[in-house]
Chains A and B, each alone.
Chain A
Amino acid sequence: MIQPLTDAPRFSLTTGADGLIETQTLEVSIGPQHPSTHGVFRMDCVLDGEEVVALKPVMGYLHRNHEQLAEKMVWLGSMPYTDRLDYFNSMTNNWAYALAVETLAGIKVPERAEYIRVIMSELTRLLNHSCVIGFMLQDLGAWGTPLLYAFRERERILDLFEAVSGSRMMCNYMRFGGVRVDMTESDLAVAKDVVTRFPRFLDEFEKLLTGNEVLLGRTQRVGILPKELAINAGISGPMARASGVEYDVRKVDKYGVYGRFDFRVPVGEIGDVYDRYFIRVLEMRESIKILQQALRDIPQGPRVAPEAKLRNFKIPPGDGYGRIEAPKGELGFYLVSDEGGKLPYRYHVRPPSFVNLTTLEDMCLGHKVADVVIILGSIDIVLGEVDR
Chain B
Amino acid sequence: MEAIEKIKEIAAQVVPGAKIEIINSTPAAQQPALLVDREHIYAVGKFLKEDPRFQMDFCSCVTGVDYLPKADKPGCIEVVYHLYSTTQKQGPIVLKVRAPRELEQCHVPSLTPLWRSCEFQEREAYDLYGVKFNGHPDLRRILMWDEFTDFPMRKDYTPPADYEWEPTPHDDTLDRAVQEGGIMPPTAREELERAKKK
Known contacts A350-B61, A357-B120; is-contact A103 B143 (Cβ 8 Å):
no
Is B86 a contact of A247 with CB atoms below 8 Å? yes
> Chain B: which residue is nearest A322 at the CB level?
B29
Asked if A67 is at the interface of the complex by the 8 Å CB criterion, the answer is yes
Stretch from B2-10, B52-60, B172-180, B187-195 at the A interface: B52-60
Asked if A302 is at the interface of the complex by the 8 Å CB criterion, the answer is no
Chain A residues contacting B31 (CB-CB under 8 Å) are: 103, 319-321
Asked if A232 is at the interface of the complex by the 8 Å CB criterion, the answer is yes
CA distance A63 to B153 in the complex (A): 13
Asked if B142 is at the interface of the complex by the 8 Å CB criterion, the answer is yes
Known contacts A105-B26, A245-B86, A320-B29; is-contact A60 B145 (Cβ 8 Å):
yes
Stretch from B14-22, B40-48, B111-119 at the A interface: B111-119
Please list the 6 inter-chain residue pairs (A to B) with the smallest Cβ-Cβ separation, ordered nearest first. A234-B117, A106-B28, A318-B26, A320-B29, A233-B116, A60-B143
Partner of B26, one of A104, A231, A232, A247: A104
Chain A residues contacting B59 (CB-CB under 8 Å) are: 234
Which positions 63-98 of chain A face chain B at CB distance < 8 Å? 63, 65, 67-68
Known contacts A319-B31, A355-B120; is-contact A348 B61 (Cβ 8 Å):
yes
Is B25 a contact of A320 with CB atoms below 8 Å? yes
Is A332 a contact of B60 with CB atoms below 8 Å? yes
Q: How far is the CB of B139 from chain A (nearest CB, A)?
A: 14
A interface residues, Cβ below 8 angstroms from B: 59-60, 63, 65, 67-68, 103-106, 229, 231-236, 245, 247, 252, 315-321, 323, 330, 332, 334, 336-337, 345-346, 348, 350, 354-355, 357-359, 387-388
Is B29 a contact of A332 with CB atoms below 8 Å? no
Interface class of chain A by DSSP: mixed
Is A229 a contact of B86 with CB atoms below 8 Å? no
CA distance A105 to B63 in the complex (A): 21
> Chain A: which residue is nearest B70 at the CB level?
A339
Asked if B65 is at the interface of the complex by the 8 Å CB criterion, the answer is yes
Is B80 a contact of A318 with CB atoms below 8 Å? no
Asked if B38 is at the interface of the complex by the 8 Å CB criterion, the answer is no
Is B60 a contact of A231 with CB atoms below 8 Å? no
Is B58 a contact of A231 with CB atoms below 8 Å? yes
Is B60 a contact of A63 with CB atoms below 8 Å? no
Known contacts A247-B86, A315-B26; is-contact A336 B120 (Cβ 8 Å):
no
Asked if B89 is at the interface of the complex by the 8 Å CB criterion, the answer is yes
CA distance A235 to B121 in the complex (A): 13
Q: How far is the CB of A331 from chain B (nearest CB, A)?
A: 10
Chain B residues contacting A323 (CB-CB under 8 Å) are: 60-61
Is A232 a contact of B80 with CB atoms below 8 Å? no
CA distance A350 to B145 in the complex (A): 21
Partner of A321, one of B66, B92, B141: B92
Is B153 a contact of A233 with CB atoms below 8 Å? no
CA distance A388 to B124 in the complex (A): 11
Q: How far is the CB of A182 from chain B (nearest CB, A)?
A: 26
Chain A residues contacting B58 (CB-CB under 8 Å) are: 231, 234, 247
Select the residue from B28, B115, B141 with max chain A CB neighbours within 10 A. B28
Asked if B12 is at the interface of the complex by the 8 Å CB criterion, the answer is no
Partner of A106, one of B27, B86, B121, B128: B27
Chain B residues contacting A103 (CB-CB under 8 Å) are: 28-29, 31
Asked if B100 is at the interface of the complex by the 8 Å CB criterion, the answer is no
Q: How far is the CB of A32 from chain B (nearest CB, A)?
A: 12
CA distance A60 to B148 in the complex (A): 12
CA distance A2 to B170 in the complex (A): 59
CA distance A72 to B59 in the complex (A): 28
Asked if B136 is at the interface of the complex by the 8 Å CB criterion, the answer is no
Which positions 54-79 of chain B face chain A at CB distance < 8 Å? 57-61, 63, 65-66
Q: How far is the CB of A208 from chain B (nearest CB, A)?
A: 34
Is B143 a contact of A232 with CB atoms below 8 Å? no
Is A319 a contact of B26 with CB atoms below 8 Å? yes
Chain A residues contacting B145 (CB-CB under 8 Å) are: 60
Is A316 a contact of B26 with CB atoms below 8 Å? yes
